Structure 1
Amino acid sequence: MRRAVTAVFGRRAVLRWVHLILGGALLMPYWLLGTVLLSPLFDGPGLFAAPVAMQFGAYAFALPLVAVTALFPLARPMSVAVARALCGVRGEELADGPARGRDARARTAGWLVLHVGLGGLVSGATLALPPFALAMLVLPFSERLRNSELSRFWGVDAPWVHWAGVPGGLLMLAALAAVAAGAGALLAACAPRLLGPSPADRLAAAERRAEELAVRNRLARELHDSVGHALSAVTLQAGAARRLLDSDAPDDREFVREALTAIEETTRRTVGELDHVLGLLRHGDDEASSGELPGPGLEALAALAKGAGAAASVTWAGDLERVPRTVSREAYRIVQEGLTNAARYAGGAPVKAHLTLEEEELEITMENPLSGRPAPVRPGGGRGLRGVAERARLLGGSSAAGPVDGVWRLTARLPLGGARTGGARPGGAR
């Protein structure tokens, strides 16, 4: 019993009733137009006192006009917004954006006709029945009403008829609420089918999610490569300086000074890159997805090798100035990641990186002796090699990593045509 009362008079039923009344309000302009056009066919005392046949004729005339309204782009977004707020339909079951395609427009037209058609009937009943039911409720207590035409509505003017108006009025109000609740439930049941996403909407949503994931992965790679390399390099430099100070060897202030300088330069450069990536996260992904991310390129190879420690050496063959900016950035990040992995796993062994520029391709080769135990730089696993593979693949290239003849070798081939614009000028001596 309680569930039945809640279904008819609960908050959700009331909101759906309001939704239906809004549909009736939307019907009014179309209904008035139909009434004006059909009025020459009927004789009546006035527009609002027209015969019932004319009123229902105008109602039938208005519904096709409502269907035409669904062709406007804002028809579905507005209907979806109202249905989510008032019908109690879960948001993910409804589509976002204008209707695309004939099927989506047809379903939107069906929804508008259903909403406005039911809303017009329920609104009319809401306006007409409550005053009549209220009069029936007070009929036994009002001599004026008993002497009016209302007392003879049933064709019998007797006291028991007057008192029968009390339960009759209550039943009218309950029936009106039940009809409104049923019509609202029908709208809620039809909303996912008529306003739900079409295959084109689902495809567009999947593409948007793929783009968002691509941008997020891109920003994650930037954070991993810049911050991860900086922390690894700083840890190695600080550890070397601490071991020197704690040893009994003669004090080598110059080495400590160089280590602290490398730490300072690395952290300063990384803080700038971190600020930029965090700025993209704060202001949205449009900048990250629409163009390339600014950052160091092959011109910073010398500084990169210096910050990685004395065991690292970076050489190149060819004029790196003609490497497009996009390839230059990605190549720098690949070398950076290779140095970071070597710092972790090579245990201080020499690391060699060599870049060879050919006509249409830049080849990167990095080698370091295999070590039996990783250096304690970063606990847990990393995603560096996956990031290297993703960077190479995005440019149409390839990468490979693994042990070869007693050394760990990382290679990457980057086509120069995978870039869009720009150039990079390498700095420092070979």
Structure 2
Amino acid sequence: MNRPLGARDRWRWVHLILGGALLMPYFLLTQVVVGVVAGGVNALNSGSLTLVAYAASLPLVAVTGMFGLVRPMSVTAARAMCEVPGERLADGPAKSWAARGRASAWWTLHLGIGALISGMTLAVPPMAVMLIAAPVVGRMRDVQLTYGWFATDAGPYIAPLVGIGLLAGLTLCAVGAGKLLAGTAPVLLGPTAADRLAAAEERAADLAVRNRLARELHDAVGHALSAVTLQAAAARRMLERDPAFVREALTAIEDTTRRTVGELDAVLGLLRDGDPARPDAAPAPTLAADLGGLLARTRAAGTTVTAHQDPGPAGDWDALPAIASREAYRIVQEGLTNALRHGAGPVDLRIRVQAGPGTAHRELEITMTNPPAAPAEDRETRTTGGRGLRGCAERAALLGGSVEAGPHGDRWRLRAVLPLAGEDL
């Protein structure tokens, strides 16, 4: 429990005094106007006119509190000096009128109450000191104690009690006002429904970027490791019997690792800089440009791949939309990676463009089949899995397509359909 007038209460007191200082420009302006309206008098010489000037300054405070930058300034002060938990306060300038109105209410409350506490802090301590000192100051023993608006005929030995009471009252007022501001801060400076929605959208966008980069890492690195592992194992077995095969396998390993290092560096660069449009980022592989190399590396790992492509060789896929070409490449890559990892035998790959549900729409269909995986005791036990097929489904869903994977007759089949949104080949 926080002890009375502990560090937190003292900081809140300072926060209130800061509010009083911020009110001074408004107050000085309004007291001049009030003095002119009252007949050219000095409003500071009249208690009633001073109160009128104070009241007139608050609407000006409320108007300036509507500016968007008032909220982040107030939030920073509330977090640092009122010790309000940061997660209960909004970040950034107020954008909606509702948020501006709430920030304006806080700004007015802070400056208005802060001015009262500041005035009391300036006036009460000197008054209390005079009352407490009355019994020991000879010239004050027999005179009426008068300080500003306060006067008492009480005996000099009663005056110290009055002084102590004044100090206690000031302390209670300052502590109470500080608690009031700290309690209203989450209400007036907390996030609005629009702020929460914007924060949720930002988190969703960040999560989507992270998921995309995770898929890129999984597909690129997973395929490379599977291919290199099989190529190295095949080269080791044929080291003495077929040096030419070993040289081909080592060349494939070199090519695979070089490509993967480039892709890995690009993805890590995006994670580090957070800028998907970096000019030095390596371009993502596409079906048109990179399918041939992918098939060659897979075959070099010892897996037979029969490819049937409609409308023809890989070079004819240049007319595909760029995003469909990229996602299709990754889906094919994941399917081949699974075939390599499971050692399930020859792969039959078919890629074709077919008519979609509408006459103006086309779909890219990818079908990959291979024998079912060997029994668990005949292959290396996997410690992870499932992310690749889930990533394929996410890639297809981003384009409005679908992915199906599972047993199909006596074979395992991966089928993906990617809408081309009316694009023609």
TM-score with structure 1 setting the length = 0.87
Q: 2:231 touches 2:302 (CA, 8 Å); kept in 1?
A: no
Q: Which has the larger displacement, 105-114 or 179-188?
A: 105-114
Q: Does 1:282 align with 2:272?
A: yes
| One of 350, 361, 384 as aligned partner of 2:346 | 350
| One of 251, 258, 262 as aligned partner of 1:268 | 258
Q: Deviations over 1:43-89 (max 9, x none)?
A: 797454x2111111011101111111122111222211211111111
Q: Deviations over 1:160-189 (max 9, x none)?
A: x32333333333222212211110100111
Q: Deviations over 1:295-327 (max 9, x none)?
A: 111211121122222324244221212112221
* Aligned counterparts of 1:186 and 1:106: Cα–Cα separation in 2: 19
Paired position in structure 1 for 2:187: 193
Paired position in structure 2 for 1:88: 83
| One of 18, 25, 36 as aligned partner of 1:29 | 25
Q: Does 1:13 align with 2:12?
A: no
1:282-321 correspondence runs (5 A): 282-285=272-275, 287=277, 294-298=283-287, 299-308=289-298, 309-313=301-305, 314-318=307-311, 319-321=316-318
| One of 389, 403, 410 as aligned partner of 1:406 | 410
Q: Secondary structure at the match of 1:180?
A: helix
* Aligned counterparts of 1:135 and 1:117: Cα–Cα separation in 2: 28
Q: 1:225 touches 1:384 (CA, 8 Å); kept in 2?
A: yes
For structure 2, the 5+ residue unaligned runs are 356-361
Q: Does 1:324 align with 2:326?
A: no
Letter in 2 for 1:230: A
- CA drift of 1:280 comes to 0.8
Letter in 1 for 2:283: P
Q: Deviations over 1:314-352 (max 9, x none)?
A: 44221212112221111111111001111122x251122
- CA drift of 1:409 comes to 0.7
Q: Secondary structure at the match of 2:158?
A: helix
- CA drift of 1:154 comes to 4.5
Letter in 2 for 1:317: D
What's the Cα RMSD here?
2.6
For structure 1, the 5+ residue unaligned runs are 424-430
Distance 1:281 1:225, change over 3 A: same
1:245-264 correspondence runs (5 A): 245=239, 251-264=241-254
Q: Secondary structure at the match of 1:8?
A: coil
- CA drift of 1:282 comes to 0.9
Q: Deviations over 1:78-107 (max 9, x none)?
A: 211211111111112112223233332222
Distance 1:257 1:105, change over 3 A: same
1:90-129 correspondence runs (5 A): 90-129=85-124
1:386-401 correspondence runs (5 A): 386-401=390-405
Q: Secondary structure at the match of 2:156?
A: helix
| One of 184, 192, 203 as aligned partner of 2:178 | 184
Q: Deviations over 1:227-280 (max 9, x none)?
A: 1111111111112222334xxxx6111111112111111111111111111111
Letter in 2 for 1:409: R
Q: 1:7 touches 1:181 (CA, 8 Å); kept in 2?
A: no
* Aligned counterparts of 2:310 and 2:160: Cα–Cα separation in 1: 101
Q: Does 1:131 align with 2:120?
A: no
| One of 52, 63, 68 as aligned partner of 2:63 | 68
Q: Does 1:143 align with 2:138?
A: yes
* Aligned counterparts of 1:73 and 1:383: Cα–Cα separation in 2: 44
Distance 1:316 1:310, change over 3 A: farther
* Aligned counterparts of 1:240 and 1:167: Cα–Cα separation in 2: 98
Letter in 2 for 1:244: M
1:327-342 correspondence runs (5 A): 327-342=324-339
* Aligned counterparts of 1:198 and 1:15: Cα–Cα separation in 2: 27
Q: 1:12 touches 1:86 (CA, 8 Å); kept in 2?
A: yes
Q: 2:344 touches 2:371 (CA, 8 Å); kept in 1?
A: no
* Aligned counterparts of 2:132 and 2:71: Cα–Cα separation in 1: 43
Q: Which has the larger displacement, 253-262 or 353-362?
A: 353-362
Q: 2:348 touches 2:369 (CA, 8 Å); kept in 1?
A: yes
- CA drift of 1:41 comes to 4.6
Moved over 4 A (4+): 41-47, 144-149, 151-155
Q: Which has the larger displacement, 195-204 or 301-310?
A: 301-310
Paired position in structure 1 for 2:359: none
Which protein has greater RCO, CA pairs closer than 8 Å, 6+ apart?
Answer: 1
